[in-house]
Chain A
Amino acid sequence: MSPAAEALERRAVVRTLLAGREDLAVVTGLGSPSYDTVAAGDHDLNYYLWGAMGSAATVGLGLAIAQPRRPVLVITGDGEQLMGLGALATIAVQRPANLTIAVLDNERYAETGMQRSHTGAGVRIDQVAAACGFAWTAEVRESAGVDQLRARLTAFTGPNLAVCKVEPTDLPRVLPPIDAVYLKHRLRLALGFPPR
Chain B
Amino acid sequence: MSTPETDWPDALFSSLLEAGIGTVAYVPDAGHARVIALAHEAESITAVPLTTEEEGIGYLAGAWLGGLKGVLLMQSSGVGNCINTLALAAQARFPLLMLVTMRGEWAELNPWQNPAGGAAEESLRLMGVRTWRAERADEVEPLVSGALAMTFAGDMSGAVLLGQRLIGRKLW
Contacts and interface: CB of A to CB of B under 8 A. Distances in A.
A115 interface: no
Contact of A87 (B46, B51, B65): B51
B67 A62 contact: no
B91 A180 contact: yes
A51 B68 contact: no
Given A55-B88, A62-B65, A188-B65, 18 more contacts: A49-B88, A52-B85, A54-B58, A55-B55, A58-B55, A58-B57, A62-B62, A62-B63, A62-B70, A63-B62, A63-B65, A86-B50, A90-B55, A180-B92, A184-B65, A184-B93, A184-B94, A193-B67
Interface of A: 25, 27, 47, 49-67, 70, 84, 86-87, 89-90, 93-94, 180-181, 183-184, 187-188, 191, 193, 196
B87 A51 contact: yes
Contacts of B91: 50-51, 180-181
Contacts of B23: 62, 65-66
Given A59-B65, A66-B65, A86 B84 contact: no
Contact of B63 (A27, A66, A184): A66
Contacts, number: 122
Contacts of A86: 50-52, 55
17 contacts: A54-B58, A55-B54, A56-B58, A59-B58, A59-B59, A59-B65, A61-B58, A62-B59, A62-B70, A64-B62, A65-B23, A65-B66, A66-B66, A66-B67, A90-B49, A90-B59, A180-B88
Interface of A is mostly: helix
B60 interface: yes
Contacts of A25: 66
Nearest to B91: A180
A90 B50 contact: yes
A93 B50 CA distance: 9
Interface string B47-87: 01111101111111111111110100000000000001101
A90 B91 CA distance: 24
B155 interface: yes
Nearest to A86: B51
Name which of B54, B61, B66, B87 has the most chain A CB atoms within 10 A of its CB: B66
Nearest to B61: A59
B65 A55 contact: no
Contacts of A62: 23, 58-66, 68, 70
A184 B92 contact: yes
Contacts of A188: 65, 67
B55 A65 contact: no
B155 A196 contact: yes
A94 B49 CA distance: 9
B57 A55 contact: yes
A181 B93 contact: yes
A65 B49 contact: no
